[in-house]
Amino acid sequence: MDVELRQLRCLVAVVDEGTFTDAAIELRMSQAAVSRNIAGLERTLGVRLVERTTRSARLTTAGERAVGTARRILALLADLERDAGTGTGKVRIGYAWSALGEHTTEFQRRWAVAFPSTELQLVRSNTPTAGLADGGTDLAILRRLPEAAAVEHVRISAEKRYCAMASDDVLAPKRSVTLAQIAQKPVAMDLRTGSTTLELWPEDARPPNVVPTQDVDDWLTLIGSGKARGITAESTAHQYRRRGVTYRPVRDAPPVPVYAAWSRKDPPRERDQIVELLMGLYG
């Protein structure tokens, strides 16, 4: 059976990103190339894996089975590459939305002092485990815990919540805003990896209109257009300054927990030292 690794990567990317277009961006290839790889995999396996529409891609029953196998194969390959590269001195720290916000630069500086012979790579991976599940990262910064049982975590801190809105929004002149005020307009949410869900509001005061988004760039573009507001962690407000978008503190919302997470079966050797370094930044 002539299955190619790039076909498996395309299948997983389409599932993780939600559309062929976003998968192409994530893989840094053309949309046509992603489509060809998926079609080639379907021909090889003899089954339809993905139902395509103009706006989304949905797995068939066979596709759901195939993507699980594809993830295991890619994770095994990542393990092989990691084992072969033992001693090369590299740690990949993933994040879905923002790394450490205002602490990111200081973290990089302290890393160079604490681990002078180990390269630090910050990897943005818009997946629930920030790349841990597929072996793309060694440790992750999460603000929303995944359902994956194979991931362990420790809470390192918490961040204030901020509302993102268009700069000409009626709330923009205010110094802070409330959940009730935010809910008066549609609210943009990444329900897969974002830190905001409907449970943030009381059950009888939830926003009537939620606009789903795929990642932080999609989220910011929608908010900048004035079509929606959003709620996010303080780190996003620091890391993603964008013309036309204003951030204001949400004074009646609980803080966002920040976690360091890693694969239970293969934690990085430097895990304890890294966690200590992260806690020191926030402390």
pLDDT tens per residue, range 63-97: 888 988 898 888 888 777 766 555 557 899 999 88
**Contacts of residue 165, Cβ cutoff 8 Å, sequence gap at least 6:** 171, 172, 223, 229, 230, 245, 246, 247, 248
CATH fold for domain 87-157+257-282: D-Maltodextrin-Binding Protein; domain 2 (3.40.190)
pTM, rounded to two decimals: 0.69
Cβ proximity of 225 and 151 under 8 Å:
no
Residue 233 scores a pLDDT above 60: yes
Domains 5-83 and 161-254 share a fold: no
**What average pLDDT does range 130-154 have in this prediction?**
88
The domain over range 5-83 is classified in CATH as 1.10.10.10: yes
pLDDT 10s digits, 26-57:
898 999 999 999 999 999 999 999 988 767 78
For the chain, give the DSSP string: ----HHHHHHHHHHHHHSSHHHHHHHHTS-HHHHHHHHHHHHHHHTS--EEE-SS-EEE-HHHHHHHHHHHHHHHHHHHHHHHHTTTS-EEEEEESS-SSGGGHHHHHHHHHHH-TTSEEEEEE--STTTTTTTTS-SEEEESS--S-TTEEEEEEEEE-EEEEEETTSTTTTSS-B-HHHHTTS-EEE-TTT-S--GGGS-GGG--S-EEE-SSHHHHHHHHHTTS-BEEEEHHHHHH---TTEEEEEBTTSPPEEEEEEEESSS--TTHHHHHHHHHHHH-
Q: Is the dihedral of CA 94, 100, 106, 111 positive or negative?
A: negative
Residue percentage of the chain with pLDDT more than 90:
62
Structure confidence at residue 82 (pLDDT)? 64
Mean pLDDT over 126-140 rounds to 89
- Please say if the pLDDT value at position 105 is more than 60: yes
Structural domain boundaries of the chain? Answer: 5-83, 87-157+257-282, 161-254
Arch. (CATH architecture) of 161-254? 3-Layer(aba) Sandwich (3.40)
Per-residue pLDDT tens digits for 147-205: 877 899 999 999 999 999 999 999 999 999 999 999 999 999 998 888 999 999 999 99
